[in-house]
Structure 1
Amino acid sequence: MTNYAEAKQRLRGSIAPIVTTFDVNNQVDLNVMNNLIEWQIESGSHGISVTGTTGEPSSLTLQERELIMENAIKTVNKRVPVMPGTGSTNHEEALHLTKRAQEMGADAALVIVPYYNRPNQQALYNHFKIIADSVDIPIVLYNIPGRTAVNLEVSTLARLVEDCPNIIGVKESNKDFEHVNRVLHSCGRDFNLFSGIELLCYPMLAIGGAGHVAATANVAPKEVAELYDSWAAGNVERAIELHYYLMTLNDVLFKDTNPVPLKAALGMMGKIHPAVRLPLGPVSDALRQELKDTLIQYGILK
């Protein structure tokens, strides 16, 4: 039986949401993904997540998602926690992937609010409770109303936390900062609140958050991890400095749909082949130039 109190303490900091890398034939390239994972760990990231929003899960087959999850867990080999995204708009798929994550040895599962079908709050409760009850690994729910068109209300989340001891946290990609304050107030100050919005990474730490799952960590893993480390060490001035330092980079990486600009940037850095799968497409020439200029400004490119 998992010790959820220990899991809450271990699953903290910068959990890097890795892009899914494709080769020139648009097939999953695990070797390149492994290089990214090694770079993240060397750079100080506190955990790894795959097949979340940044990993283009809706463009992957079920078999590809399982392959990527298993590969990440084996590559990391317990050096840091691995929290794959196992959610889906399809309940049975989400249930299957979450069970498989446990079988593979994942440290937690990140389960998104179902997108497109817009369930009501009772349906959300039923969906998440069945998934949580099916496993005993920690579950972190993922609320991103800008993509799902449904907000996981605080009252629904609080019910789930009360009824499901393995729901230990939530990734909030919610610009309503009153909402995220109420999450900790209602779910308990020991509940693991993660920021999924880059400009809210520091503010969420300041109200008692556990860390962040920030796409920018793909490009600047050291600085994104240091933001958390500085806060945890009580170096508030450094954390605030990094918060503002990263702002321009954060902004340019979200001028098109994530992970499109991110993959273009990683391609310029020589880390990956920058392919995305349709229906996503490449960045415009203007954004490509802006990305290049920004990476030069940050010293990431010469």
Structure 2
Amino acid sequence: MMFEDVKRRLRGSIAPVITPFNEDESIDFKTMSDLINWQIESGSHGISVTGTSGEPSSLTVKEREQVMENAAKTINGRVPFAPGTGSVNHQETLHLTKVAQELGADAAMVIVPYYNRPSQHALYKHFKAVADSVDIPIIIYNIPGRTAVNLDVKTYARLVEDCPNIIGSKEANKDFEHVNRVLLNCGRDFLLYSGIELLCYPMLTIGGAGSISATANVAPVQVAEMHNAWEEGNYERALELHYDLMPLNDILFADTNPAPVKAALGMMGKIKPVLRKPMDLPTQQLQNEIREVLKKYVDLPDHQPAR
């Protein structure tokens, strides 16, 4: 089975859109559609939902289905769609990945199961079962800082060899040696996306396909432009944007994602800055710092930061 068309299109800045909530913590689907439209208008090359930035562990399975359906309808084929369908629960992962396929998603992003720390052998069996259950491409999401286990390069290589629809990986891994070896062992056509903001530019230099960066929620134009500049061969401009975005990247990860991102979007007037417990907005002091940094990137409405 060939996935060359998807591999050609699923590149650049794939924005991992947050899940906006109302004051009562119900999902604000209208605002979600507005955010997705803004992302596309701002030049983002693709859309993902219910990844880390989308607070998937705070959503029910039904809510995750509804978020994916709303996103698919809003995108309406304008850009590639790669929702997060992974879970700590294997059967939930199978179910959500099949739902993504039914909704016409271009790919499904499946996280390494978190908390229970499966062995490499167990991870192989998990991902192979997921890949075998659908006909759409799978992007593995490796984020050891959240999952407490790292998908080894040898496991990657085994999965890619045995599962033709495993076409790429979001690597939220600060070990850049590991990232290089993923491409070496999985092939240079393997789609490697950076999930570490400060590695988005370096990942391009080794042959990466793009990024799935939380910062794109706040600065979609700049993040997309960095990828565009790289593709156009304007490496100096891409590098300039890399460094220009660094203060914003830093402040957006001064607390656990997506708390600072939601605070920032609230300051920008894009959302009601609400997270579901056990998550919460950053402290007032950090919100003030976020606002000061944010002023350098966007024009903020004249109101106080969210409390």
Following superposition, the deviation at residue 297 of structure 1 comes to 2.2
The residue number in structure 2 matching 1:71 is: 70
Q: Which runs of 5+ in 2 are unaligned?
A: 302-307
The residue type equivalent to 1:133 in the other structure is D
The residue number in structure 2 matching 1:19 is: 18
Q: Are 1:39 and 2:38 counterparts?
A: yes
The residue number in structure 2 matching 1:50 is: 49
The residue number in structure 1 matching 2:189 is: 190
Following superposition, the deviation at residue 7 of structure 1 comes to 1.2
Question: Can you list the C-alpha shifts for 1:140-183, whole angstroms capped at 9, x where unaligned?
Answer: 00000000000000000010000000000000000000000001
Q: How does 1:39-118 map to 2 (within 5 A)?
A: 39-118=38-117
The residue number in structure 1 matching 2:244 is: 245
Following superposition, the deviation at residue 298 of structure 1 comes to 2.2
Q: Are the equivalent residues in 1 in contact too, given 2:112–2:123 (CA < 8 A)?
A: yes
Q: Following the alignment from structure 1 to structure 2, what is the Cα–Cα distance between the partners of residues 274 and 100?
A: 29
Following superposition, the deviation at residue 301 of structure 1 comes to 2.2
Following superposition, the deviation at residue 24 of structure 1 comes to 1.1
Q: Are 1:236 and 2:243 counterparts?
A: no
Task: Count matched residues.
Answer: 301
Following superposition, the deviation at residue 68 of structure 1 comes to 0.3
Q: Following the alignment from structure 2 to structure 1, what is the Cα–Cα distance between the partners of residues 245 and 35?
A: 20
Q: Following the alignment from structure 1 to structure 2, what is the Cα–Cα distance between the partners of residues 297 and 69?
A: 33
CA RMSD, Structure 1 to Structure 2 (Å): 0.8
Following superposition, the deviation at residue 127 of structure 1 comes to 0.2
Q: Following the alignment from structure 1 to structure 2, what is the Cα–Cα distance between the partners of residues 237 and 62?
A: 44
Q: Following the alignment from structure 2 to structure 1, what is the Cα–Cα distance between the partners of residues 280 and 35?
A: 22
Following superposition, the deviation at residue 113 of structure 1 comes to 0.1
Q: Following the alignment from structure 1 to structure 2, what is the Cα–Cα distance between the partners of residues 299 and 104?
A: 34
The residue number in structure 2 matching 1:129 is: 128
The residue type equivalent to 2:219 in the other structure is A
**Bigger shift: 288-297 or 237-246?**
288-297
What secondary structure sits across from 1:250 in the alignment? helix
TM-score normalised to structure 2 length? 0.97
The residue number in structure 1 matching 2:168 is: 169
The residue type equivalent to 1:194 in the other structure is Y
